[in-house]
């Protein structure tokens, strides 16, 4: 009993200290490097074929422009924070998607492009501390608690950050159904 309490305190402590602000967004291309093999489920390709991978382009459609007009938003939806916050990765974070990037900084331009749309890190958390192969394998082996390196194993609350009534096109969101539509499991876990 005492041991349990102590462990609880240690866990709370490490959760509070080990996360942000050291974690930064690295972009979907980084995850693609290791997560696009058919043998292990090609998560990148599955994602690319989902509507999350087109979320920014959606903001350039006539439907999006009409929504913006109706709401009195003066700038184009794909340039408006009111819309971008749920249609890109890491909005509001200094290492997340930026509205303007120095066009001469090719690295920054490439990184920003990899943060367009609802990318891996929009659900799994900023990747800087967990993207290394050793850390990733240790998480899978159960020797590192994902939370201590910022890796989120998404649940309903993760989705509801965007799938909520602040979305102008909010539809009923049934988590159990929705996760099936975006599923990208390891092959051995697929049903």
> For binding to ligand HEC (CB under 6 A), which residues are involved?
26, 28, 30-31, 33-35, 40, 43-44, 47, 51-52, 54-55, 58-59, 61, 63-64, 67-68, 71, 73, 77, 82-83, 85-87, 118, 120-124, 127, 131, 133, 136-137, 139-140, 146, 153-154, 158-159, 161-164, 166-171, 178-179, 181-182, 184-186, 189
Other CB atoms within 10 Å distance of the CB of residue 181:
8
Output the smallest distance, CB 120 to ligand HEC, in A: 3
Residue with Cβ nearer ligand HEC (108 or 174)? 174
State the Cα–Cα distance between residues 149 and 130, nearest whole angstrom: 5
Output the smallest distance, CB 42 to ligand HEC, in A: 9
Burial class of residue 138 (count of CB atoms within 10 Å of its CB; 0-12, 13-18, 19+):
middle
Q: How many residues does the chain have?
A: 191
Residue with Cβ nearer ligand HEC (116 or 162)? 162
Residue 58's φ and ψ, nearest 5 degrees, are -55, -35
The sign of the dihedral angle between the CA atoms of 8, 17, 136, 186 is positive
């Amino acid at each position: 009993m005492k041991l349990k309490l102590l462990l609880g305190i240690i866990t709370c402590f490490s959760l509070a200290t080990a996360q942000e602000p050291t974690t930064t967004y690295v972009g979907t291309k980084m995850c693609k490097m290791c997560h696009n093999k058919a043998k292990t489920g090609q998560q990148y390709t599955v994602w690319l074929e989902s509507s999350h991978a087109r979320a920014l382009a959606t903001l350039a459609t006539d439907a999006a422009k009409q929504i913006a007009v109706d709401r009195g938003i003066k700038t184009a939806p794909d340039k408006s924070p009111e819309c971008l916050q749920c249609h890109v990765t890491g909005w509001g974070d200094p290492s997340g998607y930026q509205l303007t990037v120095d066009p001469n900084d090719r690295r920054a331009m490439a990184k920003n492009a990899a943060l367009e749309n609802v990318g891996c890190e929009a659900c799994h958390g900023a990747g800087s501390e967990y993207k290394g192969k050793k850390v990733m394998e240790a998480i899978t082996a159960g020797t590192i608690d994902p939370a201590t390196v910022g890796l989120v194993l998404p649940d309903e609350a993760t989705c509801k950050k965007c799938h909520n009534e602040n979305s102008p096109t909010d539809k009923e969101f049934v988590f159990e159904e929705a996760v099936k539509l975006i599923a990208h499991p390891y092959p051995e876990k697929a049903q």
